[in-house]
Chain A
Protein backbone atom coordinates (compact mmCIF):
# COMPACT_ATOMS: atom_id res chain seq x y z
CA UNK A 1 0.00 0.00 0.00
CA UNK A 2 3.04 2.22 0.33
CA UNK A 3 2.87 3.40 -3.24
CA UNK A 4 -0.64 4.84 -2.89
CA UNK A 5 -1.48 8.47 -2.27
CA UNK A 6 -3.87 8.63 0.63
CA UNK A 7 -6.32 11.50 1.00
CA UNK A 8 -8.87 12.11 3.73
CA UNK A 9 -11.84 14.51 3.65
CA UNK A 10 -14.61 15.35 6.07
CA UNK A 11 -18.01 15.83 4.44
CA UNK A 12 -20.08 18.46 6.22
CA UNK A 13 -23.65 17.41 6.96
CA UNK A 14 -26.08 20.20 6.35
CA UNK A 15 -24.67 22.29 3.54
CA UNK A 16 -25.53 21.34 -0.03
CA UNK A 17 -23.26 23.93 -1.52
CA UNK A 18 -20.25 22.26 0.08
CA UNK A 19 -20.99 18.79 -1.28
CA UNK A 20 -18.50 18.25 -4.06
CA UNK A 21 -15.56 19.77 -2.23
CA UNK A 22 -13.94 16.38 -1.75
CA UNK A 23 -14.63 15.13 -5.28
CA UNK A 24 -13.40 18.47 -6.66
CA UNK A 25 -10.16 18.24 -4.69
CA UNK A 26 -9.58 14.64 -5.81
CA UNK A 27 -10.28 15.58 -9.42
CA UNK A 28 -7.67 18.34 -9.27
CA UNK A 29 -5.06 15.95 -7.87
CA UNK A 30 -5.80 13.28 -10.47
CA UNK A 31 -5.30 15.86 -13.21
CA UNK A 32 -1.94 16.84 -11.70
CA UNK A 33 -0.95 13.18 -11.81
CA UNK A 34 -1.79 13.07 -15.51
CA UNK A 35 -4.38 10.43 -14.74
CA UNK A 36 -6.50 8.86 -17.47
CA UNK A 37 -9.26 11.41 -18.17
CA UNK A 38 -12.10 8.88 -18.40
CA UNK A 39 -11.15 7.53 -14.97
CA UNK A 40 -10.98 11.07 -13.55
CA UNK A 41 -14.45 11.77 -14.80
CA UNK A 42 -15.88 8.55 -13.36
CA UNK A 43 -14.25 9.14 -9.98
CA UNK A 44 -15.57 12.71 -9.85
CA UNK A 45 -19.12 11.75 -10.78
CA UNK A 46 -19.35 8.75 -8.43
CA UNK A 47 -17.79 10.62 -5.52
CA UNK A 48 -20.03 13.62 -5.93
CA UNK A 49 -23.15 11.44 -5.98
CA UNK A 50 -21.97 9.71 -2.81
CA UNK A 51 -21.16 13.01 -1.12
CA UNK A 52 -24.64 14.31 -1.91
CA UNK A 53 -26.13 11.09 -0.49
CA UNK A 54 -24.21 11.63 2.72
CA UNK A 55 -25.51 15.18 2.99
CA UNK A 56 -29.13 14.26 2.22
CA UNK A 57 -29.47 11.12 4.30
CA UNK A 58 -26.72 10.87 6.86
CA UNK A 59 -25.75 14.32 8.12
CA UNK A 60 -22.29 14.03 6.56
CA UNK A 61 -19.36 11.74 7.24
CA UNK A 62 -15.89 11.28 5.84
CA UNK A 63 -14.20 9.83 2.81
CA UNK A 64 -10.84 8.18 2.34
CA UNK A 65 -9.30 8.04 -1.08
CA UNK A 66 -6.36 5.91 -2.16
CA UNK A 67 -4.87 6.69 -5.53
CA UNK A 68 -2.84 3.95 -7.24
CA UNK A 69 -1.27 4.23 -10.68
CA UNK A 70 -3.97 2.02 -12.16
CA UNK A 71 -6.97 2.46 -9.89
CA UNK A 72 -8.65 4.67 -7.30
CA UNK A 73 -10.21 3.20 -4.16
CA UNK A 74 -12.72 5.28 -2.25
CA UNK A 75 -14.39 4.70 1.08
CA UNK A 76 -17.31 6.91 2.05
CA UNK A 77 -18.51 6.36 5.59
CA UNK A 78 -21.28 7.96 7.62
CA UNK A 79 -23.06 7.53 10.95
CA UNK A 80 -26.48 7.97 9.40
CA UNK A 81 -29.65 5.89 9.71
CA UNK A 82 -28.43 3.09 7.41
CA UNK A 83 -30.20 1.77 4.32
CA UNK A 84 -33.25 -0.38 5.13
CA UNK A 85 -33.46 -2.15 1.77
CA UNK A 86 -30.29 -2.03 -0.32
CA UNK A 87 -31.88 -3.79 -3.31
CA UNK A 88 -34.63 -1.20 -3.47
CA UNK A 89 -32.12 1.63 -3.05
CA UNK A 90 -30.25 0.30 -6.05
CA UNK A 91 -33.35 0.61 -8.26
CA UNK A 92 -33.41 3.62 -10.55
CA UNK A 93 -35.96 6.16 -9.35
CA UNK A 94 -36.38 4.74 -5.84
CA UNK A 95 -35.83 7.51 -3.35
CA UNK A 96 -36.44 8.23 0.32
CA UNK A 97 -35.28 11.82 0.04
CA UNK A 98 -37.55 14.38 1.75
CA UNK A 99 -39.50 16.96 -0.29
CA UNK A 100 -37.26 19.91 0.58
CA UNK A 101 -34.34 18.04 -0.96
CA UNK A 102 -36.31 17.09 -4.07
CA UNK A 103 -37.33 20.70 -4.50
CA UNK A 104 -33.64 21.49 -4.93
CA UNK A 105 -33.47 19.03 -7.80
CA UNK A 106 -31.82 16.24 -5.83
CA UNK A 107 -33.26 12.96 -4.62
CA UNK A 108 -34.37 11.61 -7.99
CA UNK A 109 -33.47 8.10 -6.90
CA UNK A 110 -30.47 7.90 -9.20
CA UNK A 111 -27.70 8.22 -6.62
CA UNK A 112 -26.65 4.62 -6.02
CA UNK A 113 -27.55 3.42 -9.55
CA UNK A 114 -25.35 6.19 -10.99
CA UNK A 115 -22.50 5.37 -8.63
CA UNK A 116 -22.67 1.76 -9.76
CA UNK A 117 -22.76 2.83 -13.40
CA UNK A 118 -19.58 4.91 -13.18
CA UNK A 119 -17.47 2.61 -10.96
CA UNK A 120 -15.94 -0.81 -11.59
CA UNK A 121 -16.59 -2.18 -8.12
CA UNK A 122 -19.08 -1.10 -5.50
CA UNK A 123 -19.80 -2.59 -2.12
CA UNK A 124 -22.24 -1.39 0.54
CA UNK A 125 -21.99 -2.20 4.23
CA UNK A 126 -24.96 -0.80 6.11
CA UNK A 127 -26.47 -1.27 9.55
CA UNK A 128 -29.72 0.37 10.53
CA UNK A 129 -29.19 3.00 13.16
CA UNK A 130 -25.41 2.74 12.89
CA UNK A 131 -24.39 3.95 9.47
CA UNK A 132 -23.29 3.09 5.98
CA UNK A 133 -19.95 2.39 4.38
CA UNK A 134 -19.63 2.57 0.65
CA UNK A 135 -16.53 1.06 -0.98
CA UNK A 136 -15.87 2.12 -4.56
CA UNK A 137 -13.16 1.23 -7.05
CA UNK A 138 -12.50 2.92 -10.37
CA UNK A 139 -10.02 1.09 -12.58
CA UNK A 140 -8.12 2.86 -15.35
CA UNK A 141 -9.20 1.54 -18.75
CA UNK A 142 -6.50 2.15 -21.30
Chain B
Protein backbone atom coordinates (compact mmCIF):
# COMPACT_ATOMS: atom_id res chain seq x y z
CA UNK B 1 0.00 0.00 0.00
CA UNK B 2 1.69 3.19 -1.14
CA UNK B 3 -0.83 5.82 -0.21
CA UNK B 4 -0.77 6.52 3.47
CA UNK B 5 -4.04 5.58 5.12
CA UNK B 6 -5.43 7.99 7.70
CA UNK B 7 -7.88 7.08 10.42
CA UNK B 8 -8.63 10.70 11.29
CA UNK B 9 -11.09 12.21 8.84
CA UNK B 10 -13.27 15.24 8.40
CA UNK B 11 -17.05 15.23 8.25
CA UNK B 12 -17.45 18.25 5.95
CA UNK B 13 -21.16 18.65 6.73
CA UNK B 14 -20.46 19.23 10.41
CA UNK B 15 -17.38 21.41 9.95
CA UNK B 16 -18.15 25.11 10.31
CA UNK B 17 -14.62 26.28 9.53
CA UNK B 18 -13.74 27.49 13.04
CA UNK B 19 -10.13 27.50 14.22
CA UNK B 20 -10.26 25.08 17.16
CA UNK B 21 -8.58 22.14 15.45
CA UNK B 22 -6.32 24.40 13.42
CA UNK B 23 -4.77 25.88 16.53
CA UNK B 24 -4.39 22.62 18.41
CA UNK B 25 -2.85 20.37 15.77
CA UNK B 26 0.67 19.54 17.03
CA UNK B 27 2.13 19.11 13.53
CA UNK B 28 0.30 22.06 11.92
CA UNK B 29 -1.40 19.59 9.61
CA UNK B 30 -4.74 21.39 9.31
CA UNK B 31 -5.75 24.31 7.08
CA UNK B 32 -9.17 25.89 6.72
CA UNK B 33 -10.10 26.75 3.17
CA UNK B 34 -13.50 27.75 1.78
CA UNK B 35 -14.95 27.43 5.24
CA UNK B 36 -13.91 23.82 5.78
CA UNK B 37 -10.98 22.24 7.56
CA UNK B 38 -8.64 20.12 5.52
CA UNK B 39 -6.03 17.66 6.80
CA UNK B 40 -2.62 17.69 5.12
CA UNK B 41 -2.11 13.96 4.82
CA UNK B 42 1.68 13.92 4.87
CA UNK B 43 1.81 15.88 8.14
CA UNK B 44 -0.99 14.15 10.05
CA UNK B 45 0.18 11.61 12.66
CA UNK B 46 -3.35 10.47 13.58
CA UNK B 47 -2.92 11.53 17.20
CA UNK B 48 -6.59 12.45 17.42
CA UNK B 49 -6.14 15.85 19.12
CA UNK B 50 -8.49 17.43 16.56
CA UNK B 51 -11.18 14.87 17.39
CA UNK B 52 -10.77 15.75 21.05
CA UNK B 53 -11.10 19.52 20.56
CA UNK B 54 -13.69 19.85 17.78
CA UNK B 55 -16.84 21.29 19.39
CA UNK B 56 -18.91 20.28 16.35
CA UNK B 57 -17.74 16.66 16.23
CA UNK B 58 -16.67 17.18 12.63
CA UNK B 59 -13.46 15.20 13.11
CA UNK B 60 -13.96 11.48 13.33
CA UNK B 61 -11.93 8.35 13.52
CA UNK B 62 -12.48 5.69 10.93
CA UNK B 63 -12.35 2.26 12.55
CA UNK B 64 -13.58 -1.21 11.62
CA UNK B 65 -17.27 -2.07 11.68
CA UNK B 66 -18.14 -4.93 13.99
CA UNK B 67 -19.60 -6.94 11.07
CA UNK B 68 -16.17 -7.22 9.50
CA UNK B 69 -15.34 -10.04 11.90
CA UNK B 70 -17.84 -12.23 10.02
CA UNK B 71 -15.57 -12.32 6.99
CA UNK B 72 -13.45 -14.83 8.88
CA UNK B 73 -14.16 -18.40 9.96
CA UNK B 74 -12.36 -17.94 13.26
CA UNK B 75 -12.56 -14.59 15.03
CA UNK B 76 -10.09 -13.38 17.64
CA UNK B 77 -10.45 -10.25 19.77
CA UNK B 78 -7.30 -8.70 21.17
CA UNK B 79 -8.36 -5.99 23.65
CA UNK B 80 -6.03 -3.14 24.66
CA UNK B 81 -5.39 -3.07 28.42
CA UNK B 82 -7.04 0.39 28.46
CA UNK B 83 -10.37 -1.42 27.93
CA UNK B 84 -10.22 -2.76 31.50
CA UNK B 85 -10.30 0.79 32.88
CA UNK B 86 -13.69 1.56 31.31
CA UNK B 87 -15.94 -0.31 33.74
CA UNK B 88 -17.21 0.58 37.16
CA UNK B 89 -16.50 -1.86 40.00
CA UNK B 90 -14.71 -4.36 37.78
CA UNK B 91 -12.66 -6.74 39.89
CA UNK B 92 -12.05 -9.54 37.40
CA UNK B 93 -10.97 -8.94 33.81
CA UNK B 94 -12.35 -12.36 32.83
CA UNK B 95 -15.81 -10.74 32.92
CA UNK B 96 -14.73 -8.39 30.10
CA UNK B 97 -13.02 -11.18 28.16
CA UNK B 98 -16.00 -13.52 28.45
CA UNK B 99 -18.25 -10.62 27.41
CA UNK B 100 -16.19 -10.22 24.22
CA UNK B 101 -16.68 -13.92 23.44
CA UNK B 102 -20.42 -13.53 23.88
CA UNK B 103 -20.36 -10.81 21.19
CA UNK B 104 -19.19 -13.40 18.67
CA UNK B 105 -15.46 -13.87 19.03
CA UNK B 106 -14.15 -17.44 19.18
CA UNK B 107 -11.06 -16.49 21.11
CA UNK B 108 -9.86 -13.57 23.20
CA UNK B 109 -6.19 -12.81 23.75
CA UNK B 110 -5.24 -9.83 25.92
CA UNK B 111 -2.78 -7.36 24.43
CA UNK B 112 -1.33 -7.07 27.93
CA UNK B 113 0.13 -10.53 27.26
CA UNK B 114 2.02 -9.24 24.24
CA UNK B 115 3.06 -6.25 26.37
CA UNK B 116 4.73 -8.56 28.86
CA UNK B 117 6.68 -10.22 26.06
CA UNK B 118 7.74 -6.85 24.64
CA UNK B 119 8.81 -5.71 28.10
CA UNK B 120 10.93 -8.83 28.48
CA UNK B 121 12.42 -8.39 25.00
CA UNK B 122 13.21 -4.73 25.71
CA UNK B 123 14.91 -5.58 28.99
CA UNK B 124 17.07 -8.15 27.29
CA UNK B 125 18.05 -5.85 24.39
CA UNK B 126 18.90 -3.02 26.79
CA UNK B 127 20.87 -5.38 29.03
CA UNK B 128 22.92 -6.61 26.09
CA UNK B 129 23.64 -3.00 25.07
CA UNK B 130 22.25 -3.69 21.62
CA UNK B 131 20.35 -0.44 21.35
CA UNK B 132 21.29 3.20 20.98
CA UNK B 133 20.46 4.93 24.27
CA UNK B 134 18.34 6.47 25.43
CA UNK B 135 15.92 3.97 23.92
CA UNK B 136 12.60 5.49 22.87
CA UNK B 137 9.57 3.22 23.16
CA UNK B 138 7.93 2.28 19.86
CA UNK B 139 4.54 1.39 21.33
CA UNK B 140 2.66 4.63 20.51
CA UNK B 141 2.32 4.80 16.71
CA UNK B 142 1.51 8.54 16.76
CA UNK B 143 4.85 9.17 18.47
CA UNK B 144 6.72 6.93 16.03
CA UNK B 145 5.14 8.79 13.10
CA UNK B 146 6.03 12.11 14.68
CA UNK B 147 9.68 11.07 14.98
CA UNK B 148 9.62 9.84 11.40
CA UNK B 149 8.55 13.23 10.00
CA UNK B 150 10.21 15.64 12.42
CA UNK B 151 13.17 14.14 14.31
CA UNK B 152 15.68 12.65 11.87
CA UNK B 153 18.44 12.27 14.44
CA UNK B 154 16.21 10.27 16.77
CA UNK B 155 15.04 7.57 14.34
CA UNK B 156 17.88 5.31 15.45
CA UNK B 157 16.87 5.64 19.11
CA UNK B 158 13.43 4.16 18.52
CA UNK B 159 13.22 0.62 19.87
CA UNK B 160 13.10 -1.76 16.89
CA UNK B 161 10.45 -3.96 18.51
CA UNK B 162 6.88 -4.41 17.33
CA UNK B 163 4.04 -3.13 19.50
CA UNK B 164 2.24 -5.27 22.10
CA UNK B 165 -0.78 -5.24 19.74
CA UNK B 166 1.27 -6.75 16.94
CA UNK B 167 2.99 -9.24 19.25
CA UNK B 168 -0.34 -10.38 20.66
CA UNK B 169 -1.82 -10.76 17.18
CA UNK B 170 1.06 -12.97 16.11
CA UNK B 171 0.87 -15.10 19.27
CA UNK B 172 -2.90 -15.44 19.07
CA UNK B 173 -2.71 -16.46 15.40
CA UNK B 174 -0.07 -19.05 16.15
CA UNK B 175 -2.18 -20.52 18.94
CA UNK B 176 -5.33 -20.48 16.82
CA UNK B 177 -3.70 -22.27 13.89
CA UNK B 178 -2.49 -24.95 16.31
CA UNK B 179 -5.85 -25.28 18.09
CA UNK B 180 -8.12 -25.28 15.03
CA UNK B 181 -5.99 -26.50 12.15
CA UNK B 182 -7.44 -23.67 10.06
CA UNK B 183 -5.41 -21.78 7.46
CA UNK B 184 -3.94 -18.45 8.50
CA UNK B 185 -6.23 -16.48 6.18
CA UNK B 186 -9.32 -17.96 7.83
CA UNK B 187 -8.34 -16.35 11.09
CA UNK B 188 -9.39 -12.75 11.70
CA UNK B 189 -7.67 -10.81 14.47
CA UNK B 190 -9.37 -7.63 15.69
CA UNK B 191 -7.80 -5.11 18.02
CA UNK B 192 -10.17 -3.36 20.44
CA UNK B 193 -8.60 0.06 20.17
CA UNK B 194 -8.45 3.14 22.40
CA UNK B 195 -7.15 5.44 19.64
CA UNK B 196 -7.15 6.22 15.90
CA UNK B 197 -3.34 5.99 15.65
CA UNK B 198 -3.64 2.24 16.23
CA UNK B 199 -6.20 1.97 13.45
CA UNK B 200 -3.68 3.57 11.11
CA UNK B 201 -0.97 1.26 12.42
CA UNK B 202 -3.13 -1.72 11.43
CA UNK B 203 -3.83 -0.35 7.95
CA UNK B 204 -0.33 0.93 7.13
CA UNK B 205 2.20 -0.17 9.75
CA UNK B 206 5.44 1.67 10.52
CA UNK B 207 7.41 -1.49 11.08
CA UNK B 208 6.37 -3.93 8.33
CA UNK B 209 4.57 -4.26 5.00
CA UNK B 210 1.54 -5.88 6.55
CA UNK B 211 0.09 -6.04 10.04
CA UNK B 212 -0.93 -9.34 11.66
CA UNK B 213 -4.10 -7.56 12.76
CA UNK B 214 -7.07 -7.53 10.35
CA UNK B 215 -9.03 -4.67 11.82
CA UNK B 216 -9.38 -2.30 14.76
CA UNK B 217 -12.71 -1.75 16.49
CA UNK B 218 -13.09 1.37 18.66
CA UNK B 219 -13.65 0.79 22.37
CA UNK B 220 -16.38 3.46 22.21
CA UNK B 221 -18.12 1.57 19.41
CA UNK B 222 -18.17 -1.82 21.10
CA UNK B 223 -18.83 -0.45 24.59
CA UNK B 224 -22.67 -0.49 24.71
CA UNK B 225 -23.01 -4.09 23.44
CA UNK B 226 -20.09 -5.22 25.56
CA UNK B 227 -21.46 -3.84 28.82
CA UNK B 228 -24.82 -5.41 27.99
CA UNK B 229 -23.17 -8.79 27.38
CA UNK B 230 -21.15 -8.47 30.58
CA UNK B 231 -24.31 -7.77 32.59
CA UNK B 232 -25.95 -10.95 31.30
CA UNK B 233 -23.22 -13.55 31.73
CA UNK B 234 -24.26 -16.89 33.19
CA UNK B 235 -20.71 -17.99 33.78
CA UNK B 236 -17.30 -16.36 33.65
CA UNK B 237 -14.63 -18.25 31.70
CA UNK B 238 -11.07 -18.28 33.03
CA UNK B 239 -9.37 -16.67 30.02
CA UNK B 240 -7.04 -14.01 31.45
CA UNK B 241 -3.33 -14.69 31.34
CA UNK B 242 -1.91 -11.27 32.17
CA UNK B 243 0.19 -10.07 35.07
CA UNK B 244 0.39 -6.61 36.54
CA UNK B 245 3.20 -5.61 34.17
CA UNK B 246 1.04 -6.12 31.09
CA UNK B 247 -2.09 -4.45 32.50
CA UNK B 248 0.06 -1.51 33.64
CA UNK B 249 0.85 -0.59 30.03
CA UNK B 250 -2.58 1.08 29.86
CA UNK B 251 -1.24 3.97 31.94
CA UNK B 252 1.60 6.35 31.22
CA UNK B 253 4.59 5.05 33.16
CA UNK B 254 3.47 1.43 32.97
CA UNK B 255 5.85 0.44 30.22
CA UNK B 256 8.71 2.19 32.01
CA UNK B 257 7.95 0.48 35.31
CA UNK B 258 8.16 -2.84 33.45
CA UNK B 259 11.80 -2.05 32.65
CA UNK B 260 12.45 -2.79 36.33
CA UNK B 261 15.13 -0.11 36.35
CA UNK B 262 15.36 3.42 37.63
CA UNK B 263 16.79 5.52 34.84
CA UNK B 264 13.66 6.14 32.84
CA UNK B 265 11.41 8.98 31.84
CA UNK B 266 7.72 8.74 30.94
CA UNK B 267 5.98 11.67 29.25
CA UNK B 268 2.38 11.84 28.11
CA UNK B 269 0.29 14.33 26.17
CA UNK B 270 1.48 15.24 22.68
CA UNK B 271 2.81 18.70 23.60
CA UNK B 272 4.93 17.23 26.42
CA UNK B 273 6.12 14.49 24.09
CA UNK B 274 7.29 17.08 21.55
CA UNK B 275 9.17 18.99 24.26
CA UNK B 276 10.96 15.84 25.38
CA UNK B 277 11.91 14.97 21.78
CA UNK B 278 13.20 18.51 21.13
CA UNK B 279 15.33 18.38 24.26
CA UNK B 280 16.54 14.92 23.48
CA UNK B 281 17.56 16.03 20.01
CA UNK B 282 19.54 18.91 21.57
CA UNK B 283 21.31 16.53 23.93
CA UNK B 284 19.76 18.08 27.06
CA UNK B 285 18.39 14.85 28.46
CA UNK B 286 21.09 12.76 30.01
CA UNK B 287 21.26 10.00 32.63
CA UNK B 288 18.17 8.33 31.21
CA UNK B 289 18.26 4.91 29.54
CA UNK B 290 14.64 4.52 28.54
CA UNK B 291 12.04 7.00 27.35
CA UNK B 292 8.35 6.15 27.25
CA UNK B 293 6.22 8.54 25.24
CA UNK B 294 2.45 8.50 24.92
CA UNK B 295 0.64 10.96 22.65
CA UNK B 296 -2.42 10.95 24.91
CA UNK B 297 -2.57 12.44 28.40
CA UNK B 298 -2.55 9.65 30.96
CA UNK B 299 -1.32 7.11 28.40
CA UNK B 300 -3.53 4.80 26.32
CA UNK B 301 -6.41 5.28 28.78
CA UNK B 302 -6.52 8.84 27.39
CA UNK B 303 -7.14 7.73 23.80
CA UNK B 304 -9.97 9.54 22.02
CA UNK B 305 -11.82 6.29 21.34
CA UNK B 306 -12.22 5.44 25.03
CA UNK B 307 -15.35 6.34 26.95
CA UNK B 308 -14.13 7.00 30.49
CA UNK B 309 -12.15 9.92 31.92
CA UNK B 310 -8.49 8.85 31.64
CA UNK B 311 -7.68 9.52 35.28
CA UNK B 312 -10.64 7.49 36.49
CA UNK B 313 -9.45 4.66 34.22
CA UNK B 314 -5.93 5.00 35.62
CA UNK B 315 -7.19 4.58 39.18
CA UNK B 316 -9.23 1.52 38.21
CA UNK B 317 -6.26 -0.06 36.44
CA UNK B 318 -4.16 0.49 39.57
CA UNK B 319 -6.77 -1.30 41.66
CA UNK B 320 -7.17 -4.17 39.21
CA UNK B 321 -3.42 -4.83 39.12
CA UNK B 322 -2.94 -4.89 42.84
CA UNK B 323 -3.28 -8.61 43.47
CA UNK B 324 -2.04 -9.89 40.13
CA UNK B 325 1.19 -11.81 39.63
CA UNK B 326 4.03 -9.70 38.21
CA UNK B 327 4.17 -11.25 34.76
CA UNK B 328 2.56 -14.35 33.28
CA UNK B 329 4.10 -14.35 29.81
CA UNK B 330 7.69 -15.13 28.95
CA UNK B 331 9.68 -15.33 25.75
CA UNK B 332 10.31 -18.74 24.31
CA UNK B 333 13.00 -19.78 21.84
CA UNK B 334 12.59 -17.99 18.55
CA UNK B 335 10.11 -15.41 19.91
CA UNK B 336 12.71 -12.68 19.89
CA UNK B 337 13.10 -12.81 16.09
CA UNK B 338 9.34 -12.49 15.67
CA UNK B 339 9.34 -9.38 17.85
CA UNK B 340 11.89 -7.43 15.83
CA UNK B 341 10.86 -4.85 13.22
CA UNK B 342 10.87 -6.05 9.64
CA UNK B 343 12.06 -2.72 8.29
CA UNK B 344 14.05 0.14 9.75
CA UNK B 345 12.42 3.41 10.69
CA UNK B 346 13.23 5.87 7.96
CA UNK B 347 13.11 9.62 8.25
CA UNK B 348 10.84 11.30 5.71
CA UNK B 349 12.54 14.63 4.90
CA UNK B 350 9.84 15.83 2.48
CA UNK B 351 7.19 16.53 5.08
CA UNK B 352 8.50 19.88 6.25
CA UNK B 353 11.22 20.91 3.82
CA UNK B 354 10.44 23.69 1.39
CA UNK B 355 12.22 22.17 -1.58
CA UNK B 356 14.59 19.34 -2.45
CA UNK B 357 17.05 21.86 -3.88
CA UNK B 358 18.62 23.74 -0.97
CA UNK B 359 19.23 26.88 -3.08
CA UNK B 360 15.56 27.00 -4.00
CA UNK B 361 14.59 26.28 -0.39
CA UNK B 362 16.79 29.14 0.83
CA UNK B 363 15.24 31.51 -1.65
CA UNK B 364 11.78 30.47 -0.49
CA UNK B 365 12.77 30.96 3.13
CA UNK B 366 14.07 34.47 2.44
CA UNK B 367 10.72 35.31 0.84
CA UNK B 368 8.96 33.73 3.80
CA UNK B 369 10.84 35.88 6.30
CA UNK B 370 9.94 38.96 4.28
CA UNK B 371 6.26 38.07 4.06
CA UNK B 372 6.20 37.24 7.76
CA UNK B 373 7.54 40.71 8.61
CA UNK B 374 4.48 42.21 6.93
CA UNK B 375 1.93 39.98 8.72
CA UNK B 376 0.33 41.13 11.99
CA UNK B 377 1.91 38.34 14.09
CA UNK B 378 -1.32 37.63 15.97
CA UNK B 379 -1.48 33.96 14.98
CA UNK B 380 -5.29 34.31 14.92
CA UNK B 381 -5.86 31.58 12.36
CA UNK B 382 -8.55 33.54 10.51
CA UNK B 383 -6.68 33.15 7.22
CA UNK B 384 -6.91 29.38 7.51
CA UNK B 385 -3.28 28.75 8.46
CA UNK B 386 -2.48 28.04 12.11
CA UNK B 387 0.08 30.84 12.62
CA UNK B 388 1.38 33.86 10.72
CA UNK B 389 4.61 31.97 10.09
CA UNK B 390 2.68 29.00 8.66
CA UNK B 391 0.72 31.50 6.54
CA UNK B 392 3.98 32.93 5.18
CA UNK B 393 5.08 29.40 4.32
CA UNK B 394 1.75 28.61 2.64
CA UNK B 395 2.05 31.77 0.53
CA UNK B 396 5.58 30.84 -0.58
CA UNK B 397 4.39 27.34 -1.39
CA UNK B 398 1.65 28.89 -3.52
CA UNK B 399 -1.13 27.55 -1.30
CA UNK B 400 -2.40 30.81 0.16
CA UNK B 401 -2.71 34.49 -0.75
CA UNK B 402 -1.69 37.41 1.39
CA UNK B 403 -5.15 38.96 1.18
CA UNK B 404 -6.58 35.95 3.01
CA UNK B 405 -5.16 37.66 6.09
CA UNK B 406 -8.04 39.86 7.25
CA UNK B 407 -5.64 42.52 8.54
CA UNK B 408 -3.87 42.66 5.17
CA UNK B 409 -7.24 42.83 3.46
CA UNK B 410 -8.30 45.69 5.73
CA UNK B 411 -5.09 47.56 4.85
CA UNK B 412 -5.79 47.06 1.19
CA UNK B 413 -9.39 48.20 1.41
CA UNK B 414 -8.28 51.24 3.38
CA UNK B 415 -5.74 52.16 0.72
CA UNK B 416 -8.30 51.74 -2.07
CA UNK B 417 -10.73 53.88 -0.08
CA UNK B 418 -8.07 56.57 0.45
CA UNK B 419 -7.26 56.59 -3.26
CA UNK B 420 -10.90 56.91 -4.22
CA UNK B 421 -11.42 59.68 -1.68
CA UNK B 422 -8.57 61.64 -3.24
CA UNK B 423 -9.92 61.32 -6.76
CA UNK B 424 -13.40 62.53 -5.88
Contacts and interface: CB of A to CB of B under 8 A. Distances in A.
Do A and B interact with each other, yes or no? yes
Nearest to A38: B153
A38 B154 CA distance: 11
A93 interface: no
Contacts of B284: 48
Interface string B269-307: 000000000100111100000000000000000000000
Nearest to B362: A5
Contacts of A37: 152-153, 347
Contact of B354 (A7, A24, A27, A34): A34
B283 A32 contact: no
Nearest to B354: A32
Contacts of A29: 365
A33 B361 contact: yes
Contact of B283 (A31, A33, A45, A69): A45
A34 B282 contact: no
Nearest to A34: B353
Nearest to B150: A31
B225 interface: no
Interface residues of B, number: 23
A76 interface: no
A135 interface: no
B110 interface: no
A3 interface: yes
Given A34-B349, A34-B354, A23 B362 contact: no
A41 interface: yes
Contacts of B347: 37
Q: Which bracket fits the contact residues of A? A: 20 to 34
Nearest to B282: A44
Given A5-B365, A5-B369, A48-B282, A31 B358 contact: no
Nearest to B284: A48
B282 A31 contact: no
Nearest to A4: B362
B358 A69 contact: yes
Interface in B350-365: 352-356, 358-359, 361-362, 365
Given A5-B369, A37-B347, A32 B361 contact: yes
A34 B283 CA distance: 21
A48 B356 CA distance: 28
A3 B347 CA distance: 28
A48 B153 CA distance: 17
Interface string A42-66: 0011001000000000000000000
Query: Which 4 A-B pairs give the minimum distances between C-beta atoms?
Result: A34-B353, A37-B152, A33-B361, A69-B358
13 contacts: A5-B365, A27-B281, A29-B365, A31-B150, A31-B352, A32-B393, A34-B358, A41-B281, A44-B281, A45-B283, A48-B282, A48-B284, A67-B362
